[in-house]
Amino acid sequence: MAEFQTLKIESLSSHLALLTLNRPEAANALNTQMGRDLMDYFEGVALSSQNLRCIIVSGSGSKVFCAGGDLKERNGMTDEAWREQHILFERMFRAILDCPVPVIAAVNGAAYGGGCEIAANCDFIYAADHARFALTEVRLGIMPGGGGTQNLARAVGERRAKEIILSAKPFSAAEAYAWGFVNRIAAGPDLLKDTLATAEAIATNAPISVRQAKQSIHRGLQMSLADGLAFEIEAYNRTIPTEDRHEGVRAFNEKRVPEFKGR
């Protein structure tokens, strides 16, 4: 595994990885290097998953997940430099969203701006009870540009997303859960334990099946119901000739835990 300047990557098992946004001196703010590191990591996973079956994304420390874009780095940027940086960020956000391996955000504190968008680009979110979220870009003369207007609206609905984004007001973990943005809330010390329990449950399942189901859900929601159903069957049919399908049925009949190989 490559070394990254702004990320800490830990192998929790042969199939699970913990990715920690690691700029504690800057509230884990998203700078150009972190954007490049995240892009390289997730694009690398897409090219070669190395037996990974689930990735957890969290932030360094116990107070901040990611404070958003690094405004100190951006201070004085020319329009051209800003656009070039954002092209990198766009590719990074897309790499998270399109990661074939399930990605869970474990939001351990404040997730503002681009930090909220990093979490929203993950497959789902667990949050510490003290976590807070916000998309504050309109206060800076810009707007969410990392999927915020799209992912948030799909999670909480158009009217709620407009209220959140246009007011730029922070919202709590409890509100995020009630609105459907967050899947589960945990006490701060229990966040990683709870997230890991779900990650382990995912990792015990047939990895090809998990990937195909993930893709079917995400792609299907962009289609009509008829097209989504057709896409689902195409995804399903890819699981039929796998060794894992044979192993799953065998293990069920032999009353044992299956040993999936991802083949």
CB 212 within 8 A of CB 235: yes
Burial 205-243 (b: 16+ CB within 10 A, else e): bbbbbbbbbbbbeeebeeeeeeeeeebbeebeeebeebe
CA distance 20 to 23: 9
158-167 vs 148-156: helix crossing angle, rounded to 10? 130
CB 84 within 8 A of CB 46: no
CB 128 within 8 A of CB 119: no
Task: Give the torsion sign (CA, 135, 140, 144, 146).
Answer: negative
What are the catalytic residues?
A: 117, 137
Helix (H, G, I), strand (E, B) or coil at 221: coil
